Each structure stands twice: as C-alpha cells, then as structure tokens.
Structure 1
Amino acid sequence: MTATADKTAAGGGVARADGATPAEPIPDGVTVTIDDVQVTVPKGTLVIRAAEQIGVQIPRFCDHPLLEPVGACRQCLVEVAVPDREGNVRPMPKPQASCTLEATAGMVVRTAHTSPVADKAQAGVMELLLMNHPLDCPVCDKGGECPLQNQAMTNGAPDTRFVDVKRVFPKPIGVSTQILLDRERCVLCQRCTRFSDEIAGDAFIALQERGARQQIGAFDVDVLGYAASGASPDGVVSTGSTTGGVSAGSTTGDAPVGGAAPTEDGTPFASYFSGNTIQICPVGALTSATYRFRARPFDLVSTPAIAEHDSSCAAIRVDHRRGTVMRRLAGDDPAVNEEWITDKDRFAFAWQSAPDRITTPLVRDRVTTAAGVERGELRPASWVEALELAAEGLERARAAGGVGVLPGGRLTVEDAFAWSRYARTVLGSDDVDQRARAHSAEETAFLAHAVAGTGVGVTFGDLERAPVVLLAGLEAEEEGGYLFLRLRKAVRKHGLRVLGLAPFATLGLRRLDGDLLPAAPGMEGEWLGAVAAQASGVALPADLAPAESAAITAAAAALAEPGAVVLVGERLAGSPGALGAALRLAEATGARLAWVPRRVGERGGVEAGLLPGLLPGGRPITDPAARAEVARAWGVAEAALPTAPGRDLSGVIAALADGTLGGALVGGVELADLPDPAAARAALASAGFVVSLEVRASEVTALADVVLPVAPPVERAGSYVSWEGRVRPFGQALESAALPDHRVLHALAAQAGVNLGADDVRAAHRAVGALPAWTGERVPAPAPVAVEAPSVDAGAAVLASWHLLLDDGALQDGEPHLAGTAKRPVARLSATTAAAAGVRDGERVTVSTGRGAITLPVRVTEMVDHVVWLPLASKGSRVHDALGASPGDVVSLAPAPVAAQTTPSGDGGAA
C-alpha cells in the first residue's frame, strides 16, 4: 500500500495528490478502490456515489440521488472485485450496476475509464437503448441538454448495426393538459414513475406490458389497448371507479378541470408536482405543453431565482430568451426545496408579462361639472407628474384624517421595509396592514409576540427529523407548496407521524398517512386548548365522547416527544382563541411552533412591521425605547413616529367608508380576496384619494386616483423571507426600466423631503440591516378566548374553506395548460349533512347567504357533520365575493334548481 493510500485509510477520506487527508474521519467508513484511487465512504454508500467523490463520473439514466435505486437502465455497469472469506480479491462474474451496489470494505471497482470490460458493457447497453430511439434530436425539446445525447457520444458506437424499422407510437399522449408523453423516446429509466410513487404520492404513470412491448404510459385505455367500460374516444373515463377513485370525467372528488388520462383505478392525474418529471426525465419523453418547440437550451440565458407563489420560497431557475421567459426549472437547494418545486412555481409565470401589465403611470383628473367636481378617466402621465400628484394628494389625505396603508402580501423584504418606513415617517400613520385575507386582533398579537424578530426557527430539516408534526389550520399540499413534499419524505424515510386538525382528511393528509383530529371551523381553539390542558395534567371534561378524549390524550402524548413541531396556518386567524391556544400547547408540550402563511411576502412583512402596533423586528409601537431605536436607525425624530396602534385592514376599510380616513395607499391587493370585497370596493370608491402601486391592472386600478407601476419579480432583484425565517435573495433576470416598490416609494418620499434610503436594492437591503435585533419587551401573547360552537339550524351548515394551490388567483393568469390541472370545485358534505339538505353524491347543492349563492356538485365525504366545505377562491367558487362570508360563518344549504342540476360539471355554477 502506498503512503497516500495509507493516509487515506487512516484519516477516512479521499486520497489527494499532496497526501493530505480530511480533518474529520468518517464514522463506520469503508474503504474501496475505484480506478486505482482509494476512497473511504460511510457504510451503505452506493458505488456510483463513491465514484462521484473522487471525480469519476459513471454514465447513468435511472439513477437520481433523491430517488430509491432501481437499476433499470443498466448504463452504469462497472467491473467489480470483492474479497472472499479468505481475503482474496476475486472479480464478480459479470459487470454490476453501480447505482444499486453498496460499497464494501476492500472492494475494487473499475469503470469504463480503466476497464475494457466495463467499457464494452456500457457500449452494449447504449446500443440497445438507441436501437429503437428516434432520430428526432433537432426537434426534441431535450436537444442540447440531453444525457442520452451526451452519453451516446462518450459511450456509444459510431455506427449502428440495427437495420430494421424502429418502433413507433402515436404521439404525443396528453397525460394531462400540461404534460405530454412521447413514448418512443423513453428509455424505461422509471424516474417518472418513481417520482410519482415515492416523492409526490400521485401514481399517474407506470410501466405497461412486458418484453419488447414494454413502455411507459398513463393508464389511457384507448392508447394502450385496454378495454374499459365508460371510456370516451379521448381516453377519459366518464364514470367513477368502483374502487373509490374519481375519474377525470367525474363531477366530484379531486378530478382536474382539464382532460387527463385516468389511472388503473380510474383516478385522474391531478398532481401539483408533475412538472418535476419533465425535469428529471433524461430524454425527451416527457415534455411541457407550454415550452414544447419554443426554444433550445443553448439559446437560453439562465438566472437563479426564488419562486414567488408561496412562503416556502423554493429555489428556481429562470430561463429566458430575447427578453421573454421561456420556462422555469427547479433549482438545487438541499436545505430548502432539494430539487423539487410545485407546478405553480414552475409554470405560473405568464402573469408577469400579461397584456394588462401597467407600464406607465396613470393619473385621474378631476372634472368640474354642473353637479360639482367629479373624477375623470385615468390617463397616462410622466413619472414626474404622477409622483407630484400622488405626494400632494396623500398630504391632503393625511391632513383630512390620515392615510390607510394596505401593502398586500407580495412584497420582497426590501419593499416591505420601505412601505413600513414610508407609512410611519412620511404619512405618520400606523393604519398599516399587509393581510389581504381574513385576519383578527388575536393574530396581530400572535405574530408580534411569537413570529416577528425571531429569526430562523423551525426549518425543513427540523421537520424531516421530527417525530410528530401537527398541522393546525394548514393544508400542507394546498397552502404550503413544497412543504408537503418534505413532510412526505419524512413520513416515508424517518417515520414522521402527521396530525391534521381540520374538518376532514384531505387527499394530501391521506398521502402523508396522517391522523385526523376532526374539528369544525371556528372550533380549532377548543381542540388545541384541550390538548394543551391534557399535556399540562388537567383532567378532560367528563362529557367528552370516548373517541374524542382518546384522540386528545394521544395527541398530547405525541407532541410531548422531543423534537415535535406544531405548524399553524393563516386560517387560524379566523378561529377565535386558536392561535393563543397553539402557543399554550407548545409551552405545555415543549413542541416547537412555526407559522406558515400562504403568500410569499407575509413573513417579511411581519419582520418589517406591516401590522398595526408593530414596528420592525417585533418592536411594540407603544414602547418608547422601541420607537427611539427605530427613529435613530431611520434618521428621524422620535416624535415623527406614531405612538398608538392603528387600524387593521377591516378598520381601514370602515374608516375609508365613513370618511374618517382621508385616503389610502394600496399595493397589489386583489379586492376579491378580502373578507368583504363589496365593502372594500365601496370604501375605495368613496375614499378621498387613492394611490395604487401595481404590476397589472386590477379592481383597485379602476378606483385609484394615481397608479404607479412597479416591477414584477423577474425584472428586479431582492429577497424574500420564507416561513422558516430564512432570507432568500434572488437576482434580476430580465433587463427592464421598471422600478420595484422600494424605488417608487423612495421617489415618492423625496417629494415630501424625506430620504427613505431605498433608491437601489443594495441601499434598501442595508436599510433592512440597519436595525439591531430587538431585546426589549415583546407584545404579550393573546389571552385565552372562550369558544362556543355556533348554532346550526336545519338546512344550514358551518362554512369551511381554504385556497387550493391552483385556483382563480391573478398570479396564474395566462397559463391555460396549468389551469387544466386545477381541481374541479365541489361542495363537500358528510352523509348526514347531505341527507339533511336533501342532496346526494354527484347532485348539485346551493350554498347561500343573504348576499349571494354558490352552486356546486356535491362530494359526500367522511367529515364533521353540519359543515360544508367550498374552495375559497376557485372559478365558480369565490366564497368571499359571492357569499360575503368567511370560514366559521353559518350558511344555508338547499338542492340546486332542476335547471342547475344539468349544468355541465366543472363550470363552478356560481349563482
């Protein structure tokens, strides 16, 4: 053994030319020799991974570091010799697949770089793979970034011996409206099927047939030649499965809006993570309907970025060509999203260049008529004129009672601090609230006490190591994006137990093997309080049902395990006492607590103080020391800052409506998302002066006096703060003259003689870091609230609702292929509730209030009685807008009129 090899064996690491070894030995390491280089790796390491550590690249197709080894393609064959019982190193009789073979002590591996046997084996596999592969590289979307192309050049033969006709299939198969399959390109690596089964849990694509007829395909009954009753010419089954699945043509369940090939049991492909199969496909078999035939990789410029659709803040890559974004791919970030993203993060980017994009400032002139001064039409204006008019109008509004500031939840952290500083120093207003959703004073206190200024808390890694996670008011798959995949990974690999506090077990919770804690909307606080009391040793009430008592006791015991985590969603803001009870539960059990909002900018907004009564970093506005610290950092007199908590969003809207406030500064708020859209529209219409900062035209545009356009994420740099508390910076992908919020507000403040310190992204980021961590008193935790179950009469139910990942949101506009994979809106009722309402599964029910009604197909579900669930903001089910109601409110139920019962499924049927 050489000196270099001796050092490697002793130190545990990779042998280097200078004889140096890593400082830290590898516990339980095994030393193997690969191409005459020794390397020590942890026990259980695959040979293909060990080779990577010394820079030896073994060709492969089926292998992926985040998928279980399968040895399907055989391209990674290597020559292997291992010690026998006497210690003699003997070669194995045949080449071995390095992607399934674990390294063992004394093993000697030779790859194609040093072994003619391995080289011949790999060349033979490549010849078999290319035998039926089509020669369509010039038109294939994978051309230029195709592992098969690269490895055919390095490991393939210069000529083919195959002279027969290549196998062909009808193409492409529409697995969904978004995913297209070209089967003749497939090399049967099974990456797509393994991702679906192992990572997402959505089994939508599988191996078909055997031998030469074997192929990857969706369970499309026509294309694959299977007989199935109820199959339509396009391969979509129109009747529900007898095994409990829901077909693509069904009017109920989780069926997608667009046509999709059904699986073997009739369940349609409706995965939120399907785009990952395109990215990991090593050939061009799976392609995107959006990107297909649009560009080639060598024409694209790539920019690392952060997804703007949820608070997971997944790493992505933006590929653009000639100023147009062509596609987005998952970035490689092991600490956050690994290599996976949601389809929304991948495909929903067309909104940033939509035709209604505002590119120039707009102002509204005041017109004098016989009836008095009236508002005229919006007209384009220069930035100088628009900024002057905006500054003058906001100053008048401040003098007339003050200005309400509604920034919305889309902001970067640099923008959020600029909004907070502008509101407090220029407008002198604490009437600031970023929450364009249901909210409460209890939530404000909770966020100020437990979230703001706390830094990085629970992380994705903590979830993976946790023994149990409670999801309270949070549907991970719909509201957390990538969060769902990390929880599923922890369930599969580490035995994580998931508890879900909700009205019913969703498909996402079932794929997490989760246990349901059944709670009606508004009663989550009672559940959490009971678990906290049990954990504290307080006896449960004697009148509890045995099953409920057992569930509470089991939950308290589980959450007391070291490392347990409680994740609370933004929905708990509408449940009285729930957030305070969650804090007491965490204290009683020792579990760690984290808040997971839905919108990407909400955690950063909390850090910036975009809530009434809260200055940046968790500082209470009523604390003189906190105000003094902020005043010094911002370079203003302490007297310039508000001293009392202001109004929240509902208070601002009410004050605008009655004229108490003189105006409003609004940023990217969709009025239909607010708890009472009608009241918001009326309030802004009657407001004295309204300034809006927007990317695209919206309802606020039609009501604003000055509209200042701002840049979308792809045209600016900045950073978000994820729900973990992790700062996630991103760069500017496209060259643009558009200004981000912080620059617009900096220019607007300059009109008032105030230096906002945010004239560029670096200055804005320095301004964020100018404030030290707050070490003073925090806002007290929310006090306990008595919870009473609502009274529900016959023909009524309590409303449950939350956003689906793919719904009617403005950030999904312009992507019809993605919209086709959104779930059909349905009304979920228990069998008891449906019978009381006089409806059956598949029929249509009308859910109504005094403000309006929504008619949807019924899906009878095992859930809490006297509750009806509707999608919060899907097409045909805009709950806030149509009903003027929020989760926890009582609504009326009735069978839909006969005419409505025949309405085609999937239209939503909003009345």
Structure 2
Amino acid sequence: MPRPVEKLVSLTINGNTVQAPEGMMLADAALKYGDVEIPVFCYDAKIGPPVGACRMCLVEVEGIPKLQAGCSVAVTDGMVVNTESDQVKAAQEAVLEFILINHPLDCPVCDKGGECPLQDNAFGWGGGLSRFIEPKRHFEKPLALSPLIAIDRERCILCYRCVRYSQEVAEDFQLVLEERGADTFVTTFDGHPYVAPFSGNIIELCPVGALTSRPYRFRARPWDIEQAGSICTLCPAQCNVSFSVRDERVLRVLGRDHDGVDDGWLCDKGRFAYQAIHVDERVTEPMMRDGGELRPVTWELAIETAAKLLAHAGANTGAIVGGETTNEEGVLLTHLMREALGSNDLDSRPGGALEPELLRALNQPSLQAAVPDLQYAHAVLVLDCEPVDDAPILDLRLRKGVRHHDVKLVVASSRPSALDPRAAHSARFAPGCGEAFAAALAAELAGQPSASLAQAAGADPADVTAVAQTLKDAGDEVVILWGERLTGGPRRNEGARALLNLAAQLGIDGRDCAGLLEIPAGTNSRGLREVGVLPNASIGLGDAAVAGRDSREIAEALAEGDLTALILLHSDPLLDQPDGSLWRRALGKATTVVAHAAFLTPAVKEHANVIFPAESYAEKEGTVVHPDSRVQRLRRSIARQGETRAEWALLAELSARIGNDPAALTCSMVSARIFDQVPFYNGLSLDLIGGAGIRWSERAEAASFPSAPAAPFQLDAPPAAASPNGLLRLGSFRSIWASPEVEASPALAFLHPRQRVEIAPGDAERLGIRHGENVTVASNGDSVTGLAEVRAGAPEGTVFLQNAIPGDSAAQLEGPLVEVRRS
C-alpha cells in the first residue's frame, strides 16, 4: 500500500481551531496540533489500531450524545471537541477511581515512580480521594516473567499493551490474559519464560510498574539519573537510544523514537547488552604479551611498542576493520596505513573486495531505499538475509508493513526465515547460491528461460516463477532487502551484477518507495566503505591510487610470510571472517598483531602482541552511516571506563609516532575533514546531523556521487550447487545473540549461543539423528560438534551451523559439502 497522502482537516478543540491530518486519532491530533493532552492508558500509536479498553480518554464530540474514546475517534473536518466539560471530568475521575481500586499504593518503592503515566494521570485528572475500603486483590509478587523482566501483577491495570505487543507487533504470540474479571492476569500461554528477541519493549510500553527490568530494578530513581541520546552500534540497524546514566555508569537503555530508523522499538541485545560496558572482563587498560602472557602496561609503553613494531613492518602490515568502527576512526586508520606505513592492505568487508564500479553502482543515490519504505512499498523481496539476526528491528518493520499496509512479502534464502509465515511466498536455494537465484529471477522477469539458472541455485524452478509473478502483480514499488553475503566469496562480483540486473528488471531505479537496502555485515560497514576503508577505493568511493589486498588476501599473505604485521580494529578474524582455518594459520605466522578490543576474544587472547582498550558505544563520539545512507552521530554519554582513551586520538598518535602526523586535534575536526573530502557529504556538519541524522542520498550534494555503469550486465553462467551425494551442503548463519557483548552481559549470558546443527527431518531420519542429540560435522579433517535441531522447514540436503561463536564455529569447516554423524 503506498505511503498515505496527508490531507489536512479543520476541527475545534476546546474552542480553538486546529488543523490535523484526516484520519489521525483525536488523542494524537489534540496533543500534536492542539497542545491539548487527552489522558490514555491502553493506547499507543506504535502498537496499532486502538482498542478503547481503558476508557480514560473519554471526550465530548458535538453531535454525538455519548462520550467518545479519544483514542478511537478519527478527526474529521468540522469536528467540535470538548475535553474540559464537567461530564468529561466526572468520567475521567470515575475511570481513574476504578483503575486505582486494586492498584497498590507503593509508589515510593516502585521503579516506575517519578516517570509513571498512572501517577501523572492521577495528579492531572483524578479526584484525589478513594471511596474504596474493601481489601484489594493480591497476587504472588514479583514473578520472573523471564530472566530479563519481572512482573508485579497487583500493579497491572489490564491495559492490554503488553499482550497486544506480543501478538500484533513482535508476533511471538507468547503473552496472553488468563482468568476473568478482577482475577485476570498477564502470563505466557504455556507458562514458560517470555524469551524472544524483542521482549524488553513491553517494559517501556507498560504505563504502570507492573513490568520492570530485572537488571535495572531498584538501581536508581528518575531524579537520580540523566538521559543521554546516542546510537546503538551493536548491529547495522543503528537504533536511536537513550542511556540512563548515574555516576558515569549506564544503568539502562531506552528507545529514542525515530520513525526513519527504528520506529521506537529496540531488540533485547540493544536494550540489555549495556551491562558489558561495566563488567570486569572488559579490557580497560593497555596490555602487552610478555613471556607468552598478557600483562597490563602503561599507555606510554604500549604506544611506543606498537609504533616501533608497526614502523618495523612498514608496508608489510595489513589491517582488518570491524563494523563498530566510526567514520573518524576509519579515516585515521587509512592515514596510518597508507600515509604512515605505506600499505594499502586494509579491508572492512569480510567477503572480499568488490570491483569499485560495482560498489558505486550498488550505492547510487537513486537506487537507495529508506527504512520506512519497507512498510509502504507494494512488495519487499528479502534476499539472502535473515533480518531478525542481521538487523533485528527491520524484522518488526516488515511485519508492520504486511499487517497494516498489505505489503507483499517475498522471502528468498537458503535457510528458513522467521518471516516465512508472513510471506506471500518463500523460496529456498542452496547456501552460497544467491547469485544464481538472483540471475534466475531476473531472467524470469525478463521473460527469458530461468529453469537452468534455478537448478544451478539448487532452487525449485516453480518457486522462481512464483516469486517473479508475486513481484509483478504487487505493483511498481518494490524494495529488495539483501544481505552482504550475496556479494561475498569468490563470485562476489557476479553476485553484485546479478542483483543489479534484478533491480533493473523491476524498474526500481529512481522510483519513490522502492530501491535496494543492504544489510551489511557490520554496523558501520557502509560508512567505512564511503570513507575509503577498502583495499581498492579511496575516500568518497573513488579509485585507490594503488590497490591493496582484501581480507582473504591479507590472511593468505600473512600465512605465506608476505605480510608480517596485522592491525585488528574492533575485529576478531576467528569470529568475523570466513575460513577460520586460514586465519588460524595467518595469525600463527604473524610476528606482530596490534588489536583494539573491548574483550579478549579468541584471536586477541591468543595472538595479540599489544592490546589497546576499545571504547564502548556509550563512550564514543563520531559519526556512522546507516545502511539506508543516513549519517548519524554518536555522542559521548559517560566517562571512559578505567584507563580507556579515545581511539581516534590513539590512531592519530600512532601515525605521529611513526612519522606522519594527521594533525587531528579533536574528533569534530576529523568529522569536518570527512565532510569536506567526501563530495556527497559536502555541507554536512555535526550540528546539522543533530539527533535525527540526515540521509545524504536525499540531499542535492548526492549528485556528486561517482558515476557507475548501469545494468544490464552480461553474466557468466553460475556454477551448479554442490550435489549432496550422501553428504550435506554446509550453510552458516550468525545469531542475533552471537557477540562478545551478549556473552559478557550477566542478564543476556543465557542467550549466548552454543553450536546447534539445524537439519531437515528427512536427513535426520536417514542419518539416525534425533532432536537434541550431540552430533559431529566434519570436513577435510576438521570437525565441530553441536546439538541437533531437527527443523521442519529446513531444506533437505543441507545442514546449517552457527558462526561467530568462540568454539565449534562453522568457520572452522570448509564446504561446500560436510559429513554429519552422531557423536
């Protein structure tokens, strides 16, 4: 359904004429356009259509004899509304008195006290007296609704927000109401803990203190804390957050509503992983390897040693840059590598470097879709990615589009998706064959034979035909949400060409509410590419003067001795890079490894010579770029913990010690340099970016983006998917919970994944494997073990393993075929 066209109507609220969009709910219109607050409990526009359950929002509407629920009445032209009449006041007092009948008077010990809508409404619209003298209802309290959420059922006012959220927004369908009347209470359907990727949002939704955060419980009162706005950098979704800070410690994380980014929601990793900032396991002082052991050292010794080691290696240095790196840190690292050390061997793409013209073609401003387009487009094709793992908040946006705007959702992936039940059609292809599937789909849309390409992808040709027909029938506005793995690996350039051909066949270039939206491997992957953290591109996505080695070539050169030193900036190759065996050999051969890390992850712990403590996202300043081209600003919210220093300053000092001072005195000076040197960033400033960010692709300066060849491209015939032939194809995925921050956070540690082996029921039966058994997956002498997960939707002939976990990672195996057996 296209984005609604806003039509203004005039109405009168308490004698004042107000203009508001037609169809907007009266409660929203009165507050936003008339500066009149109509109290509500059950209503929250983010959840969806109102239900009018609490009756707190009753108002008079001229021409209607009975009081109307302001949350459920849409504004119309000529409407006359009164929110201050005696009848309205009496009704609101009566509703509040009724709600407070069973509500305990425990505000002094309630975590919600001081920021509680029930308190606010009682003061603003309540009568101040209660006639109720009978005993109140009682429940056992508090109960652990989950390891993250406590529920106090005595405080619950039965507004239904949490239950509606579970069923209508997250669609996990876990929360329900049981019993009837005054005995009604919120629980899970089966009594199990409420564990889901987005469960923490019900804490913010609750208008009373019935649902509270267990990690935050009794830690602070609202008058003890300050709110500091910034960006969550734990995944590419880059949600806008507000840190609750007390005594330079983050005590909780709240959503900072941004319709263009997160729609006001957070995933549980973004909400609770802040605990990793303050755990003892975090690296907060420089460390050096001495006699095979890592020991804390002074900053002067660490910087001096690192500078000498890197200067000695010189051009024989490589650098791997992780996605949590800011643009400013990326620019200063490229200066260190290219200007100070004379090396072009740096990369921020784990899948290898794309040809520069293809990278520019994929990022053409006219081809960029925005996040809100996912809910308003006629159709969305999810291609070779799993949003709930790769950029979780986009999963909620897609569900909203299907639920409220009739978006035709099509999922094409190798692994079963959480979105399959909501999709108009789902198609499967073999792991690593996204290129062939995209080529088959483009051919089908062009009216050309596609069966052979579909078979090469390991897909059913009928699925390709059905997907193409669904996209054709949906309408002109189509968004392709694609994963970076589509353009990774040996055939990454062919994957990019196939994707561009598909976009051309759909005609989405230059069309509103349509385009490409990539989910990259790292949080700031897009920004790092645009500022030149690539072996074959310079700042602004220009061609590099001399092309260097990409990530895999860096590993090969280290293993062969052609490179001797390695800089790891927010990256652990054993977790973040494919081909773990190659990286183990490479790290073992490297004579110098300088790491910037917050935790002693496997590669850092075993191979780093010098470790500099990395800032957390609450301590950083700088800029990042959202996958939809929105430049966003990180603001420092707390003091740096321990002896941690600003990483941009550290990188600048290393360059200066080696003999090439970048003259970076402040982080804002580096930001200004970026805005000046990247043509399509020209005119930006930190003040202009502000708290909401700016999509550079929508600015006039986007016209200066480098040109690129346009589709159609001539494609080589893709290789056929590996035939299982008694073995199984190997597929891999990274769980939302696979990160050092989750492992280190006490509240989230129970979610940190261990290896599970996803296998189809038919394959499990053939191999004699039962659900929950220990199994071994082996290839070329290497093996990993995990628990079997027999998954009904898994395609036969394929097994899926997790990567990015410290032990038994899928990256340890070399595909495409593996042996699976009972341990």
Fold similarity call, TM over 0.5: yes
The reply to whether residue 386 of structure 1 matches residue 302 of structure 2 is: yes
The reply to whether residue 614 of structure 1 matches residue 593 of structure 2 is: no
Instruction: Give the structure 2 partner of residue 215 of structure 1.
Output: 185
Instruction: Give the structure 1 partner of residue 694 of structure 2.
Output: none
Is contact 1:452-1:606 (8 Å) kept?
Answer: no
Is contact 1:404-1:664 (8 Å) kept?
Answer: yes
The reply to whether residue 738 of structure 1 matches residue 662 of structure 2 is: no
Is contact 2:275-2:746 (8 Å) kept?
Answer: no
Name whichever of 743-752 and 789-798 sits farther off. Answer: 789-798
Q: The residue matched to 2:818 in structure 1 has which SS?
A: strand
Moved over 6 A (4+): 542-547, 779-783
CA distance in 2, matches of 1:434, 1:544: 31
Deviations 1:613-657 (A, max 9, x none): 111221111xxxxxxxxxxxxxxxxxxxxx432111222122122
**Offset at 1:866?**
0.7
The reply to whether residue 524 of structure 1 matches residue 434 of structure 2 is: yes
Instruction: Give the structure 1 partner of residue 287 of structure 2.
Output: 362
**Offset at 1:541?**
4.1
The reply to whether residue 206 of structure 1 matches residue 176 of structure 2 is: yes
Instruction: Give the structure 1 partner of residue 794 of structure 2.
Output: 863
Q: The residue matched to 1:117 in structure 2 has which SS?
A: helix
1:564–1:165 CA distance, 2 compared to 1 (3 A): same
How is 1:41-56 mapped onto 2 (pairs within 5 angstroms)?
Answer: 41-52=20-31, 53-56=33-36
**Offset at 1:692?**
1.8
Deviations 1:350-382 (A, max 9, x none): 2222313333333446xxxxxxxxx66444443
Aligned residues: 774
Is contact 1:840-1:860 (8 Å) kept?
Answer: no
* Aligned AA (1:328): V
Deviations 1:306-340 (A, max 9, x none): 01111111100001111111000000112211211
Is contact 1:319-1:328 (8 Å) kept?
Answer: yes
Instruction: Give the structure 2 partner of residue 151 of structure 1.
Output: 121
**Offset at 1:504?**
4.4
**Offset at 1:777?**
5.8
**Offset at 1:557?**
4.2
Name whichever of 129-138 and 204-213 sits farther off. Answer: 204-213
Instruction: Give the structure 2 partner of residue 804 of structure 1.
Output: 735
CA distance in 1, matches of 2:744, 2:295: 26
Name whichever of 352-361 and 387-396 sits farther off. Answer: 352-361
* Aligned AA (1:749): S
CA distance in 1, matches of 2:773, 2:813: 24
Work out the percentage of aligned pairs sharing the same amino acid: 34
Is contact 1:534-1:553 (8 Å) kept?
Answer: yes
**Offset at 1:151?**
1.3
1:544–1:418 CA distance, 2 compared to 1 (3 A): closer
**Offset at 1:411?**
0.3
The reply to whether residue 748 of structure 1 matches residue 654 of structure 2 is: yes
**Offset at 1:804?**
1.4
CA distance in 1, matches of 2:551, 2:6: 56
Deviations 1:444-490 (A, max 9, x none): 55763334685992111222221111111110111112111111111
CA distance in 2, matches of 1:660, 1:575: 21
Instruction: Give the structure 2 partner of residue 62 of structure 1.
Output: 42
CA distance in 2, matches of 1:182, 1:77: 28
CA distance in 1, matches of 2:90, 2:707: 72
1:446–1:681 CA distance, 2 compared to 1 (3 A): farther
The reply to whether residue 670 of structure 1 matches residue 597 of structure 2 is: no
Deviations 1:749-789 (A, max 9, x none): 11133232433211110121121246656599997343333
The reply to whether residue 434 of structure 1 matches residue 345 of structure 2 is: no
* Aligned AA (2:467): A
How is 1:112-261 mapped onto 2 (pairs within 5 angstroms)?
Answer: 114-219=84-189, 235-236=191-192, 260=193
The reply to whether residue 605 of structure 1 matches residue 528 of structure 2 is: yes
Is contact 2:775-2:822 (8 Å) kept?
Answer: yes
Q: The residue matched to 1:828 in structure 2 has which SS?
A: strand
Is contact 2:774-2:787 (8 Å) kept?
Answer: yes
Is contact 1:695-1:712 (8 Å) kept?
Answer: yes
CA distance in 1, matches of 2:716, 2:334: 30
Is contact 2:279-2:745 (8 Å) kept?
Answer: no
How is 1:144-543 mapped onto 2 (pairs within 5 angstroms)?
Answer: 144-219=114-189, 235-236=191-192, 260=193, 269-364=194-289, 377-398=293-314, 402-435=316-349, 437=350, 439-441=351-353, 443=354, 448-451=359-362, 454=365, 457-510=368-421, 512-541=422-451
Instruction: Give the structure 2 partner of residue 372 of structure 1.
Output: none
* Aligned AA (2:747): H
1:805–1:857 CA distance, 2 compared to 1 (3 A): same
CA distance in 1, matches of 2:255, 2:622: 19
Greater Rg by CA: 1
How is 1:828-847 mapped onto 2 (pairs within 5 angstroms)?
Answer: 828-841=758-771, 843-847=773-777
**Offset at 1:543?**
10
Is contact 2:322-2:522 (8 Å) kept?
Answer: no
Deviations 1:215-245 (A, max 9, x none): 222235xxxxxxxxxxxxxx55xxxxxxxxx
Deviations 1:252-278 (A, max 9, x none): xxxxxxxx2xxxxxxxx4321111110
1:783–1:748 CA distance, 2 compared to 1 (3 A): farther
How is 1:630-669 mapped onto 2 (pairs within 5 angstroms)?
Answer: 643-669=545-571
CA distance in 2, matches of 1:194, 1:360: 46
**Offset at 1:831?**
3.1
Is contact 1:416-1:610 (8 Å) kept?
Answer: yes
The reply to whether residue 34 of structure 1 matches residue 13 of structure 2 is: yes
Q: The residue matched to 1:581 in structure 2 has which SS?
A: helix
Unaligned residue ranges in structure 1 (runs of 5+): 1-25, 83-90, 221-234, 237-259, 261-268, 366-374, 622-642, 897-911
* Aligned AA (1:99): C
Is contact 1:710-1:744 (8 Å) kept?
Answer: no
* Aligned AA (1:531): L
The reply to whether residue 564 of structure 1 matches residue 564 of structure 2 is: no
Instruction: Give the structure 2 partner of residue 717 of structure 1.
Output: 621
After TM superposition, the score normalised by the length of structure 1 is 0.80
CA distance in 2, matches of 1:454, 1:311: 19
How is 1:618-629 mapped onto 2 (pairs within 5 angstroms)?
Answer: 618-621=541-544
Is contact 2:770-2:788 (8 Å) kept?
Answer: no
Is contact 1:671-1:700 (8 Å) kept?
Answer: no
Name whichever of 698-707 and 128-137 sits farther off. Answer: 698-707
RMSD: 2.7
1:420–1:514 CA distance, 2 compared to 1 (3 A): farther
Instruction: Give the structure 2 partner of residue 884 of structure 1.
Output: 813
**Offset at 1:28?**
5.2
CA distance in 2, matches of 1:740, 1:171: 45
**Offset at 1:496?**
1.0
1:444–1:295 CA distance, 2 compared to 1 (3 A): farther
Is contact 1:415-1:742 (8 Å) kept?
Answer: yes
Q: The residue matched to 1:852 in structure 2 has which SS?
A: strand
Instruction: Give the structure 2 partner of residue 103 of structure 1.
Output: 75
Instruction: Give the structure 1 partner of residue 504 of structure 2.
Output: 587
**Offset at 1:555?**
2.8
Q: The residue matched to 1:813 in structure 2 has which SS?
A: helix
Q: Among residues 620, 633, 656, which one is paired with 1:729 in the alignment?
A: 633
Q: The residue matched to 1:647 in structure 2 has which SS?
A: coil
**Offset at 1:95?**
2.2
Instruction: Give the structure 1 partner of residue 718 of structure 2.
Output: 787
1:827–1:693 CA distance, 2 compared to 1 (3 A): closer
Q: The residue matched to 2:347 in structure 1 has which SS?
A: coil
